A and B are shown apart, each in its own frame.
Chain A
Amino acid sequence: MSALPHLLAIASSIALTAGITMIPLVAGHAATPAQERPVPDGAELYGTTCASCHAPDGRGTPDGPSLLDEGPAAVDWVLRTGRMPLSSPGVQAVARSEPRFDSAQIDAIISHLQSLGMEGPGIPTVDLSGADVVRGGEIFRRNCASCHQSVAQGGAVNGGRDAPDLQGVDALTIAEVLKVGPGVMPNFSELDDTEVADVSAWVIQVGQEPDDRGGAGIGHIGPIAEGLALLLVIAIGVLGLARWIGDRTTDMVASEPIEVAPAGGSHAGAVSVEEPRSWAARLGSRLVALAAVVAVVMDWVKTRRSR
C-alpha cells in the first residue's frame, strides 16, 4: 500500500533522469545545416543574415562590430563553427553551435566582404604531416593551458567568458584562432606554421583523445571530479556498507521506555499494522537518490562535452 507512492516517485525520477539526458541529444538535432545550394550568392547571404547587425557595408552597427578589419580567417572561423549568425540580433554570448552555412556559402560571403573592402589575415593552411606532438604539448602548456586547461577541457576567463574546451575542433580552426585571437583570446600569430601544426596535432591527439588507460576520464579536470566521485563513494558506498553491516534500529528507541497507549479497551485491534517502510521503499528511495546524483553528473559531463 505505502510502497505505491514510492514506486511512483522512482518511476518519475527515472523518467526525469532520462529526460535530462535526452535534452542535449534532442537539442543537438534541432538545428541542421541548410541544404546545399548550387551557386551561393554571397551578397544575398550577407544581406539576409549578417547585414542587420554588421550593416550592409560591413562597417558595423551598435549591435555588431565592423567586419572590415576582421579578415577571412576570422569570418571563416565564426561561420564554420556556427558562432555566427546569431539566432537573434543584439549583443549576447557567442558560442559554438551547428554551422548554418556550408563551405561554398562561407567562401561566397567572404568574397562579398572582400569586395566591400575587408582586409586582414587570410585563411591559413595547416599541414599536420610531420607535426611534432611533443613540441605542441610544450607550447600548449606554456601558452594555452592557462585558459584552455592542460587537457584542453576549457576554463573560465573573467567577465563570464569561457575559454572553450577544444573537443571536436579541427586543425584549421586552431590555426585560424591562433592567427586571429578571437573574442578575449590573445593573438598568437608569432607562432610559425610548424608550431601551429604542432599545437594542432597535440590538441587533436592528446586533448581530444586523451589516453585514458587508467579508467573513466571523469572530465579530465582533475581533483574536482575526483572529489565528487569520492563524495559519491562515501555517500553511497561507505554509508551503505556501514548501514548494511551495522545496526539501524537501536538508535530509534529512546533510552527511557516510551509510554505506549494501553492495548486493550477502546484501542483494541489497530488496523493493518505494517513495517513503517518496506524494504522496497527503502531501496526505492536509495535508487531515487542514486538516479538524481547520476543525472546531475551526466548532465555536467554532457554540458562540458557539448561546449
Chain B
Amino acid sequence: MKLGQAVRPLTDRLGGTRFARVTANKIFPRHWSFVLGEVALYSFLVLVATGIYLTFFFVPSDSEVVYDGLYGPLVGTSVSEAYASTMRLSFEARAGLLIRQTHHWAALLFIGSIMVHMARVYFTGAFRRPRELNWIIGMTLLLLATGMGFTGYSLPGDLLSGTGLRIAYSVAESIPLAGPWLTFLIFGGEWPVAGFTSRLYALHIIVLPVVILGLLTAHLMILWRQKHTHMTGAGAREHNIIGERLWPAYAMKAGGLALLVSGGLFLLGGLVQINPVWLYGPYDPASVSIASQPDWYIGFLEGSLRLWPGWQFDIFGVRIAALFWSGVVLPGLMFTILYAVPYLHRRFTGDDEIHHLAQRPRQAPGRTAAGAAAIAFYLVLVVAGGQDVLAAHFSISVDRLRSILRVLVFVAPLVTGLVAYRLCRNLADGASHPERNPVGNVLARTEDGRYVAVHPSNADPTAAAADHASADRHPADDGGSGPPAVDADAPVGGP
C-alpha cells in the first residue's frame, strides 16, 4: 500500500496532503553549517526524554534526612532529600546514573550547539532582514537554555552547586533599590533557604521547558515560512534557494544526525563521568572547595565576578556594590548588545534590504572582526572563571594571573578583531580559499613543452592546486619565480 493511501483515513477528515507535499518538498541547503542548529534541537529532545525519566526519581525537597544508601563514605551524613534522591537514582536505580549523566552532557551540548549555531548565523549575516525576529527568539532561547542549565545544575544540593546558588543569591542582593527585597521574594528568605529547591524544580521542569518549547516552535515555524538562507555558490541568488528536498535524502540524514547526537550523548554519559555529586558531598554553608566552577556556560559570569575590581561607591545614598557591575550590568550589557545585533548591523551598514543569500565572513570584514572580538572577550572571561585552576596548574600567583587577565580582557578582543579584519581583507582580495587554493604560482605546460606562470586567481581551482606537484617535480624550472603576474606568454623555462 502506498503511503498516500495509508494516511487516507486521516486526510479524509483533516486534509493536509498539500501541507505534507510542501513539507516533503521543502528545500534544505546542503552546506554543512546548516545542521548545527539541528544538533541543538536534537540535544533538547534528549534532554526532555532523559529529564522526564529523572523526574520519576528526584525529590525536590530541602528537608534534612540521614543518608543511608549504597555509597559508604556518606552513610550517616545529614543531607537534603534532594541530594539523597539524586544519590538514590545514581546508585540504586539501574541505568539511573547513565540517564542522569546523559542528561547533564546533553545540557552542555544543548547550550554549546546553540552558541555554535548562533556564531554561524552571525558570521554569515543570516540575522539580517527578514530574519531579525528569529535572531531575537534564538537569543531568548539561549538565555532560557542557560537558565535551564543553571536551575538543573543547582537541583541536587551538592557542595558545588550550593556554592553556585549562594553566589546567585548574592548577585540578586546587589541590585540597587530592590536587591534584598527582590532576593527574599525570589529565594523565599535568608540564605540558606529551606524550600528553594522546589521553586528551582518548578522552574526547571515546567516553566522554562514550556517557554523553550513554545519559542522553539515559533523559531522553526518562522524558519519554515521564511525558508533557509543559503550559501553563496554557483546559481545561488537572493531570490532562489538551492539544496536538497526534505524527502527522502535529507530526512534520512537529519534522522541519522538526531540518532547520532543522542547516541553520542549516551556514549558520553556512559564513559565520561560528569558531576559526581557523591564525591563533592552535600552542601553545607560553611564548606567550600577550591576549583569551584559553574558549568561552562556560566563560566563567563564567573570570570566577570573574578576580574571586576572591588569598586564600591554611593550615589545619593544608594550603595552600588561591585557585584552589581560584574554580576548584573556586564552580562546585561552583553546580552543587550547580542539582542541588538540586527539593529546595530542596520545602523552601521545602512543595509535594510531583504537578504536570503548568506555572506561568507570575509565579505563583511567589520562584522566578522566585531564577532571575533566578542568571542575573544567571552573566552577571556571564561578562562578567568577558572583562574584558580590555571594558577595552580602553571604554579603562578593568582594575583598575577588576575592582573594578566584584566589586561587581556581588553587587549585580546582588540588584537583578535584587528587580525580578523586583516584576514578577511586578505581573503577577499585573494578571492580564494587558503586551504584549497594555495598561494603561489601556477605552472602550466604549453603544447610545445614550455612552462608558463599563471596567476592563481586566474586558473580554475583544481588547476591552481596542481602547482605544488609541478613545482616539486621541477624545482630548477621554477627559477626566479617572481611576482605572480598574469604572464601567459612569457616562457619561464624549457625542457
Among the listed stretches B182-190, B214-222, B467-475, which one makes contact with chain A, having 4 or more residues with CB under 8 Å of it? Answer: B467-475
What B residues does A300 contact at CB under 8 A? Answer: 393
| Residues on B with beta carbons closer than 8 Å to the beta carbon of A148 | 290
B111-132 CB contact bits vs A (8 Å, 1 = yes)?
A: 0110010000000000000000
Once the chains bind, are A271 and B469 in contact (CB under 8 Å)?
Answer: yes
Whether A141 touches B465, Cβ cut-off 8 Å, given contacts A246-B35, A261-B454, A266-B447, is no
List 16 extra interface pairs beyond A215-B101, A252-B436, CB under 8 A.
Answer: A134-B76, A138-B77, A141-B281, A145-B287, A155-B388, A156-B388, A218-B273, A222-B160, A222-B280, A224-B386, A239-B116, A242-B36, A250-B234, A253-B232, A270-B463, A271-B444
With A250-B31, A259-B458, A261-B459 already in contact, the answer to whether A223 and B489 are too (CB < 8 A) is no
Residue of B nearest to A234 (CB): B112
> Number of A residues whose C-beta is below 8 Å from B?
85
- Is B399 an interface residue when CB atoms closer than 8 A count as contact? yes
Kindly report which residue of chain B lies nearest to residue A241, judged by CB atoms. Answer: B260
Interface residues in A143-165 by Cβ distance below 8 A to B read 145-151, 153-156, 158-160, 162-163
User: How far apart are the CA atoms of A271 and B271 in the complex, in Å?
Assistant: 50
Q: Is there a chain A Cβ closer than 8 Å to B145's Cβ?
A: no
* Given contacts A134-B73, A156-B391, A202-B73, A273 and B232 within 8 Å (CB-CB): no
A-B contact pairs, 13 of them (CB 8 A): A141-B287, A142-B286, A156-B392, A162-B392, A206-B73, A215-B270, A246-B31, A251-B231, A251-B232, A258-B460, A266-B450, A267-B452, A272-B469
User: Which interface residue of B35, B256, B431 has the most chain A CB atoms within 10 A?
Assistant: B35
Given contact pairs A242-B32, A267-B452, A274 touches B231 in the complex (Cβ within 8 A): no
A29 interface contact, C-beta 8 A: no
Give Cα A271–Cα B273 distance, bound, in whole angstroms: 54
The docked-state distance in angstroms from the alpha carbon of A300 to that of B159 is 25
Is residue A35 contacting chain B, with contact meaning CB distance below 8 A?
A: no
B262 CB → nearest A CB, Å: 12
B301 within 8 A of A: no
Given known A155-B389, A224-B389, A267-B454, contact A261–B357 (CB-CB < 8 A)? no
**Residue of B whose beta carbon sits closest to that of A2:** B468
On chain B, the residues within 8 Å of A254 by CB distance are 232, 234, 431
A230-B236 contact, Cβ under 8 Å, with A151-B280, A154-B392, A246-B31:
no
Q: Which residues of B contact A243 (CB under 8 A)?
A: 32
- Check if A253 sits within 8 Å of B386, measured CB to CB: no
- The answer to whether A270 and B436 have CB atoms under 8 Å apart is no
Closest-CB distance, B34 to chain A (whole angstroms):
6
A230 touches B112 (CB 8 A): yes
A26 interface hit (Cβ, 8 Å): no
> How many Å lie between the Cα of A178 and that of B453 in the bound state?
76
Is there contact, CB below 8 Å, between A216 and B108?
Answer: no
Q: Collect the chain A residues with CB atoms within 8 Å of residue B473's CB.
A: 1, 271-272
Q: What chain B residues lie within 8 Å of A241 (beta carbons)?
A: 35, 39, 257, 260-261
Residue A123 CB within 8 A of the other chain: no
Select the residue from A138, A214, A248 with max chain B CB neighbours within 10 A: A214
Contact A234–B279 (Cβ < 8 Å): no
**Contact count A vs B, C-beta below 8 Å:** 292
Chain A residues with Cβ below 8 Å from B273 are 212-218
Q: Which chain B residues border A1 with CB–CB below 8 Å? A: 468-469, 472-473
Q: By the criterion CB–CB under 8 Å, are B461 and A276 in contact?
A: yes
Residues of B within 8 A of A (CB): 30-36, 39, 71-77, 90-91, 97, 101, 105, 108-109, 112-113, 116, 159-160, 231-234, 236-237, 242, 253, 256-257, 260-261, 264, 268-276, 278-281, 284, 286-296, 299, 357, 360, 386, 388-389, 391-393, 395-400, 431, 433, 435-437, 443-447, 450, 452, 454, 457-463, 465-466, 468-470, 472-473, 488-489
| Chain B residues whose CB sits within 8 angstroms of the CB of A62 once the complex forms | none
| A288 shortest CB reach to chain B, Å | 14
Question: What chain A residues lie within 8 Å of B274 (beta carbons)?
Answer: 214, 226
Q: Within 8 Å of chain B (Cβ to Cβ): is A233?
A: yes
Q: How far is the CB of A65 from chain B (nearest CB, A)?
A: 21
Task: Name the residue of chain B whose CB is nearest to the CB of A227.
Answer: B296
- A252 lies within 8 A of B433 (CB): yes
Q: With A and B bound together, what is the CA distance between A257 and B91 in angstroms? A: 62
- Given A138-B77, A141-B287, residue A227 in contact with residue B299 (CB < 8 A): yes
Point out the residue from B34, B268, B290 that lies within 8 Å of A233, measured CB to CB: B268
Nearest to A158 among chain B residues (CB) is B398
Query: Complex Cα distance A198/B91, Å?
Result: 24
B112 & A267 in contact (Cβ 8 Å cutoff)? no
Contact between chains at A273 and B466 (CB < 8 Å): yes
A277 to B465, CA, bound (A): 8
A150 to B278, CA, bound (A): 11
Contacts of A303 in B (CB 8 A): 393
Residue A245 at the chain B interface, CB threshold 8 Å: yes
Q: Which residues of B contact A261 (CB under 8 A)?
A: 454, 458-460, 488
Tell yes or no: A39 within 8 A of B by CB. no
Q: Which residues of the partner chain B approach A252 to less than 8 Å between Cβ atoms?
A: 433, 436, 461
